[in-house]
Amino acid sequence: MTVTGLATPDVVGSGDAARRPAEGQRFLAVRFTVEPGEGRSATPPALSYQVPGAAPVPVAPALVAPGSTVEAVVAVPADATQADLVVLDDGLEQRLSLVDGAPGPGNVQVLARTQRTAEVGASRETDALFSAPGRVPATFPVTVRLDAATLQWFAGPDGSVRPRDPARAYLVLDVTMALPEGEPGAVPVDLLTLVLPDGTRRPGVDLTRSADRVLAAFDVPAGFTTGEVAVRGRATFPDGVTADLGADGVRFPVTIPAG
């Protein structure tokens, strides 16, 4: 939902149809657009107008369709400092103030960002030592490619994996590794580290919760803008083969504009 207009009209309508707020009340007018959401729930979101101490006023479900514009006038106490448009979707509650359009303090911060993706499109080559029980270790060149990194709240293969609090996000990687003449494959998260500008290091996490698939990501602040993805160290693949890229490995700068 995007609030595109707010007003405090003294009167609504004209002539015989004109209406004024009751004694001790004032009008708040709002215009907002309904846009496609990012969650994957099959149930439409529930919208309502809420003022502390009063029963919620639901928005007609017929109005809650992507692409629609809703205009409404809500009567609130004259001294009310809080009145919100509330969206409840797939168990997630989000608020926008009818007074000043500000997001609620508990809102998911990354969903308010318009810039969430870094298009990296870079490849790096390095040597990796491969070993496995009963086999002679051998060193081969590998190509690591990072195509993109995207900040997400509804993460994981089905969108059901969420960060630990509304001020966090997952930085989800489109990253692969390939041997010469081989098909690109997933990079084990044990090889991944995100280095933030202050030196903080975040380990890679796998959002698939599966033994045979990998969806690599980092848990980061929702306001993340820059960092460096390091692919290095040692990790074991599901088939028992261990790859060691050494202490240096390869690195990719990642930058997402603020906002």
Please state the domain extents for the chain. 2-107, 117-255
Average pLDDT value for residue range 97-110:
93
Average pLDDT value for residue range 74-84:
93
Q: Please tell me the predicted confidence (pLDDT) of residue 216.
A: 97
Q: Please tell me the predicted confidence (pLDDT) of residue 126.
A: 98
C-beta separation of 216 from 172 below 8 A: yes
> pLDDT confidence of 213, banded at 50, 70, 90?
confident
Average pLDDT value for residue range 233-246:
94
Q: Please tell me the predicted confidence (pLDDT) of residue 45.
A: 85
Query: Does the pTM of the predicted model rise above 0.85?
Result: yes
Average pLDDT value for residue range 57-79:
91
Q: Please tell me the predicted confidence (pLDDT) of residue 87.
A: 93
d(CA 11, CA 83): 19
User: What does the angle CA 185 – CA 189 – CA 192 come to, to the nearest 5 degrees?
Assistant: 100
- Range with the lowest mean pLDDT among 37-51, 105-119, 199-213, 228-242? 37-51
d(CA 218, CA 199): 15
- Is the pLDDT higher at 252 or at 88? 252
- In the predicted model, what is the mean pLDDT of the chain? 93
Q: Please tell me the predicted confidence (pLDDT) of residue 212.
A: 72
C-beta separation of 225 from 244 below 8 A: no
pLDDT in tens, 4-60: 999 999 999 999 889 999 999 999 999 999 887 777 777 778 999 999 988 999 999
What is the secondary structure of 68-131 as a DSSP string? -EEEEEEEEETT----EEEEEETTEEEEEETTT-PBPTTS-GGGG-S--EEEEEEEEEEEEEEE
> pLDDT confidence of 90, banded at 50, 70, 90?
confident
- What is the distance of C-alpha 71 from the center of its chain? 28
d(CA 78, CA 25): 4
Is pLDDT above 80 for 1?
no
Q: What percent of the chain has pLDDT over 90?
A: 78
